[in-house]
A and B are shown apart, each in its own frame.
Chain A
Amino acid sequence: MRMAKSNSRSTFVKAALSGHSGLGLALSALLYIVAFSGTVAVFYPQFERWEQPLVSEFTQWQPEAIGRAADAIMAREADRTEEPPDHLFIALPYADVPRLAVHAGESGAFADPAGKLVKEVDHHWTHFLTDLHLRLSLPTTLGLTLVGILGVGLTALVVGGILAHPNLLKDAFSLRWGGSVRLRMADVHNRLGVWSSPFALMLAISGAVIGLSQVLGFVVATLFYGGDTEAATSSLFLPDPQPTHEAAPLADVSAALETVRGLSPDMYPNMIIVHEPGTTAQRVEVGALVPGRLVWSEFYALDASGELLESAGWSDGEPGVQIYASLFRLHFGHFGGLPVQILYLLLGMCLCVCIAAGCDIWLLRQRQRGTPHPRLEKAWTGVVWGIPLALTLSAIGWLALEWPPLYSFWIGSALMVGASTRFPDRTRLATTVKSVLLVAMVALVLMHLALFGAGATRGAAGMINSLLVLASLLLMGRIWLELRRSRTRVETAELSAETG
């Protein structure tokens, strides 16, 4: 009886493991790109500041200065084109992003504390990074849906991985670092997988909802709202006004800010969106950070004179609205300052290692079965170390030569994976790519210093460069370890040849 029970358990575990392997293998490369880019993109507000480190930073602002900056950017956009912009967007400075930025149509600029435009906004590389994570650089609907499906796949992998691991608690702290490489890989994969599973599930589920929201909105709209997607999602967002195309003075954004400031002294206005600005249809939305909450912001709708019309209820509305509004900060790790961002970075790296080790285990198992896939093994090494390298090179290419990172990253990645399969030895390939990555990271820091001088050592730019230096040191340690291990292996082989 006991044996029958044990056999059925073993069959279940084998089946779960087989499903986990198959699914993981099918998703591995894309999942790795999304996980790695997401781990880096946790710092996207800092990367934006790192791209333009010389812009003046401040946290105190006056509503009148915001009004002046809004007027100035609208005038600049009017000089550029006769077509009126759909939206005017103002990012207000606060401790985490201490810059005042205004955007209208194609025009975007930073402003000084007096509201005077000082420098054009140029976050090209950071936008490429976030686009890579959110939609794999594909067109919005297709890319978001694909990444949403990867979120579903990651959820399935976590569930499958837990089911395939019968001694989950017993082995929770076991890490056998010596002996067989497959055992080592399996331990690394299992320990990282088990302990980071709450993090992976949080990210996967929130990412899947964000990614599949367009498809789901379309399905709900088709079935219940006669194809009107805006009506289907109107319970979650403030409505957009209908365009009138009749000119009017720009809405009084400083009055709108005063109104929102008066609603709650604890909330902190951090963004303003004027829909259909400079027309009779214009409507102001002010987003305010809510203390002690995970919700992105609370949004208030105001008329052109700054009178409050309604709020979106993101912080105090229906539970569904609050859950939806909380998914973004939960996913991006922007709810506890730098400590939480670092926590997300560390757990994100664990997730990347877990994905890399998972595929390596499958490849090793194939080798042990006598059916090795040497080209696939090298291609996987090319993906695991080539993606970080391509990302670093895309940043160098953009900052130094203004090469579009979209092309330099994807062409670079494809070339690297292709070249990896031609490399004679996988171990040497891994060491070579890591060494090139190390050189690239150091070059990026040095180039940033050369371009921006002392600006590269202050604030967010200094932090990003410090992280790059730290990553370089860790990578150097790893390369040293691998070279020493390979030397030991050669010496051991020579010794056995002499004695044998």
Chain B
Amino acid sequence: MNSWFLVSVSPAAALSAIVFASLGVGLLYARSRRKVGVLWCWLGWGLIVASSWFWQRALGFDRGIVLALLWPALMALTLIAWGADWRAALQPVVTRTGRLREYGAASWRYRSRRWLLAGPVSFLATTVLAMGWFAHSQWSDANRLVGAALLLVVLWPLAMTWSSSDSRLWRPLAVNVAALALGGGLLLYRTGG
């Protein structure tokens, strides 16, 4: 338990954060079991949000934000495990077969196109868009470099999600092409090439 990172932690603020966040999740849990009204649910969310202030007081701004996001998860999962019917786990499991209808599997060619779009095409489009933004941003080198990296790792997954779920592939393709054209245009304009 002896850690340099815990020396600067305020125990009172950390304890308050734990109490607020745990109570907040507890109220959400009680609401899900229909034991309390809707207002208590809102109070639960309020307590979770308020706990982030205590976390920041306890650990500092950035570390506090991280724990404010992670602690409720641990509490919620603990409550779920605590409320689960573990005796049922000892009962034989049932695997029902033949209930779901057969479905027409997509062709190999269609699936290949989909993954080509979700992978390399989306990567290319979002990278070019991020570079276009990088070229035109007035921020400092460090800010636009990290900004472009974050833009890429947020936009690419979004494009990936869309490309892998939309049955009409032309829609994500059109947006990818538009992003490519926009980013490419910005790059060409900037580099004069």
- Identify the A interface with B (CB < 8 A): 15-20, 22-23, 26, 94-96, 151-153, 155-156, 159-160, 163, 170, 172-175, 177-182, 184, 191-192, 195-196, 198-199, 202, 204-205, 208-209, 212-213, 216, 219-220, 223-224, 232-236, 268, 289, 291-295, 317-321, 323-324, 326, 330, 334-340, 343, 346-347, 350, 364-365, 367-371, 481, 484-485, 488-489, 492
Q: Is there an interface contact between B86 and A268, defined as CB atoms closer than 8 Å?
A: no
Name the B residues within 8 Å of A485 (CB-CB). 89-93
> In whole Å, how far is A426's beta carbon from the nearest beta carbon of chain B?
11
A-B contact pairs, 26 of them (CB 8 A): A20-B164, A22-B111, A23-B118, A26-B115, A152-B160, A160-B161, A177-B84, A177-B85, A179-B94, A180-B93, A208-B153, A219-B131, A223-B191, A294-B62, A294-B66, A336-B59, A337-B2, A337-B6, A339-B1, A340-B5, A340-B67, A347-B74, A367-B95, A368-B98, A369-B100, A370-B98
Q: Is there an interface contact between A173 and B145, defined as CB atoms closer than 8 Å?
A: no
> In whole Å, how far is B55's beta carbon from the nearest beta carbon of chain A?
11
Name the A residues within 8 Å of B59 (CB-CB). 292, 336
> Is B103 part of the binding interface, using a Cβ–Cβ cutoff of 8 Å?
yes
Q: In whole angstroms, how far apart are the Cα atoms of A489 and B90 in the complex?
A: 10
For this complex, into which size category does the number of interface residues on chain B fall?
35 or more
Q: A181-B93, A198-B70, A318-B142 are in contact. List 10 more A-B contacts (CB 8 A).
A: A160-B164, A173-B32, A195-B77, A198-B69, A202-B69, A292-B60, A293-B60, A335-B5, A336-B63, A368-B97
> Is B107 part of the binding interface, using a Cβ–Cβ cutoff of 8 Å?
no
- Which residues of chain B in 103-135 are interfacial with respect to chain A, using CB atoms and an 8 Å cutoff? 103, 111, 114-115, 118, 127, 131, 134-135
> In whole Å, how far is A22's beta carbon from the nearest beta carbon of chain B?
6
> In whole Å, how far is B174's beta carbon from the nearest beta carbon of chain A?
17
Name the A residues within 8 Å of B39 (CB-CB). none
A205-B150, A235-B140, A326-B62 known; A175-B80 Cβ under 8 A: yes
User: A198 contacts which of B9, B73, B143 (Cβ < 8 Å)?
Assistant: B73
> Is B178 part of the binding interface, using a Cβ–Cβ cutoff of 8 Å?
no
> In whole Å, how far is A262's beta carbon from the nearest beta carbon of chain B?
19
Q: Is there an interface contact between B80 and A178, defined as CB atoms closer than 8 Å?
A: no
Q: In whole angstroms, how far apart are the Cα atoms of A320 and B5 in the complex?
A: 23
User: A184 contacts which of B70, B93, B148, B160 (Cβ < 8 Å)?
Assistant: B93
Q: In whole angstroms, how far apart are the Cα atoms of A350 and B103 in the complex?
A: 32
Name the A residues within 8 Å of B62 (CB-CB). 293-295, 326
Q: Is there an interface contact between B164 and A22, defined as CB atoms closer than 8 Å?
A: yes
Q: In whole angstroms, how far apart are the Cα atoms of A264 and B15 in the complex?
A: 29
Q: Is there an interface contact between A156 and B160, defined as CB atoms closer than 8 Å?
A: yes
> In whole Å, how far is B121's beta carbon from the nearest beta carbon of chain A?
14
Q: In whole angstroms, how far apart are the Cα atoms of A16 and B167 in the complex?
A: 10
Q: Is there an interface contact between B100 and A155, defined as CB atoms closer than 8 Å?
A: no
Q: In whole angstroms, how far apart are the Cα atoms of A18 and B162 in the complex?
A: 11
User: A182 contacts which of B3, B6, B86, B95 (Cβ < 8 Å)?
Assistant: B95
A175-B80, A208-B153, A216-B152 known; A199-B73 Cβ under 8 A: yes
Name the A residues within 8 Å of B86 (CB-CB). 177
Q: Is there an interface contact between A192 and B6, defined as CB atoms closer than 8 Å?
A: no
Name the A residues within 8 Å of B66 (CB-CB). 202, 294, 330, 335
> Is B83 part of the binding interface, using a Cβ–Cβ cutoff of 8 Å?
yes
Q: Is there an interface contact between B154 and A155, defined as CB atoms closer than 8 Å?
A: yes
> Is B54 part of the binding interface, using a Cβ–Cβ cutoff of 8 Å?
no
Name the B residues within 8 Å of A289 (CB-CB). 4-5
Q: Is there an interface contact between B5 and A174, defined as CB atoms closer than 8 Å?
A: no
Q: Is there an interface contact between B4 and A95, defined as CB atoms closer than 8 Å?
A: yes
Q: In whole angstroms, how far apart are the Cα atoms of A414 and B22 in the complex?
A: 43
> Is B17 part of the binding interface, using a Cβ–Cβ cutoff of 8 Å?
no
Closest to B78 in A: A346
> In whole Å, how far is B47's beta carbon from the nearest beta carbon of chain A?
16
Instruction: Mark B163-189 against chain A: 1 for CB-CB distance below 8 A, else 0.
Output: 111110000000000000000000100
Name the B residues within 8 Å of A152 (CB-CB). 153, 156-157, 160
A95-B2, A209-B149 known; A159-B157 Cβ under 8 A: yes
A216-B149, A293-B62 known; A173-B165 Cβ under 8 A: no
Closest to A154 in B: B157
Name the B residues within 8 Å of A199 (CB-CB). 69-70, 73
Name the A residues within 8 Å of B28 (CB-CB). 172-173
Q: Is there an interface contact between B144 and A320, defined as CB atoms closer than 8 Å?
A: yes
Q: In whole angstroms, how far apart are the Cα atoms of A461 and B144 in the complex?
A: 43
Top 8 nearest A-B pairs (CB, nearest first) are A337-B3, A19-B165, A178-B88, A292-B60, A320-B146, A19-B164, A320-B143, A155-B157
Q: In whole angstroms, how far apart are the Cα atoms of A22 and B77 in the complex?
A: 27
Q: In whole angstroms, how far apart are the Cα atoms of A422 and B135 in the complex?
A: 56
Q: Is there an interface contact between B139 and A320, defined as CB atoms closer than 8 Å?
A: yes
User: A175 contacts which of B4, B72, B84, B144 (Cβ < 8 Å)?
Assistant: B84
Closest to B79 in A: A173
Q: In whole angstroms, how far apart are the Cα atoms of A208 and B153 in the complex?
A: 6
Q: Is there an interface contact between A173 and B60, defined as CB atoms closer than 8 Å?
A: no
Q: In whole angstroms, how far apart are the Cα atoms of A323 and B148 in the complex?
A: 13
Q: Is there an interface contact between B67 and A336, defined as CB atoms closer than 8 Å?
A: yes
> In whole Å, how far is B87's beta carbon from the nearest beta carbon of chain A?
8
Q: In whole angstroms, how far apart are the Cα atoms of A53 and B31 in the complex?
A: 49
Q: Is there an interface contact between B160 and A23, defined as CB atoms closer than 8 Å?
A: yes
Q: Is there an interface contact between A173 and B164, defined as CB atoms closer than 8 Å?
A: no
Most buried by B among A173, A195, A219, A295: A173
Q: In whole angstroms, how far apart are the Cα atoms of A317 and B146 in the complex?
A: 13
Q: In whole angstroms, how far apart are the Cα atoms of A374 and B191 in the complex?
A: 56
A172-B76, A173-B79, A178-B88 known; A15-B154 Cβ under 8 A: no
